[in-house]
Amino acid sequence: MSEILSLSSNKETGAQHQAESPGPADWGSPIPDGYGETCAVLMPRDPEWMFIYWEISESTARELKARHGNDVFTACAPILRQMRNGHHYSDVAVSLDARNWYLKAEGEGFTWHVELGLKRPNGEFILIVRSNNVTLPRGRVSSKNDERWARLHASTEELLALSGGGTKGAGSLEIARRLAERWDVLVQASSRLGSGGVSSSLISALRKT
């Protein structure tokens, strides 16, 4: 009898799981291949690399053919012209069908933009679209050590000493007592540390607690 009940229970459980299984996932509308607008978007990837993607609309392609000849796309080489701080830096041969490319950027902290275009055999450059500007971050820690950071470091060291954290041989109960007495003031200090320093009146308040 117990075996029959067990089989019946297993069948009910299996039927329940089958009923609760989800149907095909609805991922919504597919991402379109393009949006019908000519554009070039440049993005920084890291201090040494940039990423660009582009689209050339049919109307732009027709305008280029009407202005420069129907064979403009076959007679000319498509290139990405890298401009660093507004000056010509280098040309990179690409395929227009790729629609995106990674670009090596020499030098840190410069501002770049890229011009997508066609280059004739005689060197003439035909601009298709210009990208936005991007400034690449530096790949190292800033060497700037001005008065603001020196004042912040000194204030932080003094707060640490006043809290009891720098006292040799101080017991955990004593440190906890000191921190509890100064808690309200330390909350104010933490908010002011982000603005560049701790006022002398705040340090005086800590000394009095």
Tens-place pLDDT, residues 31-79:
777 888 999 999 999 889 999 999 999 999 999 999 999 999 999 999 9
Torsion angles phi and psi, residue 54, rounded to 5: -145, 165
Let me know: does 41 contact 53? Beta carbons within 8 Å.
yes
Tens-place pLDDT, residues 88-106:
999 999 999 999 999 999 8
Tell me the H-state helices in the chain: 2-20, 58-68, 72-75, 147-163, 172-181, 183-193, 200-208
Let me know: does 54 contact 37? Beta carbons within 8 Å.
no
Q: Which domains occur in the chain, in start order?
A: 39-135 (2.60.40.10), 147-208 (no CATH)
Tokens 């990674």 found at = 102
Name the pLDDT band for 128 (thresholds 50, 70, 90): very high
d(C-alpha 6, C-alpha 120), whole Å: 81
d(C-alpha 47, C-alpha 109), whole Å: 8
Task: Please give the radius of gyration of the chain, using alpha carbons only, rounded to the nearest integer.
Answer: 33
Task: For residue 187, give every residue at least 6 positions away whose Cβ sits within 8 Å of its Cβ, in sequence order, or none.
Answer: none
Closest CA to 54 of 31, 78, 71, 75: 78
Task: For residue 165, give every residue at least 6 positions away whose Cβ sits within 8 Å of its Cβ, in sequence order, or none.
Answer: 175
Tokens 């190292």 found at = 140
Tell me the whole-structure pTM to 2 decimals: 0.56
Instruction: Retrieve residue 18's tokens.
Output: 């089958």
Closest CA to 93 of 107, 103, 83, 105: 103
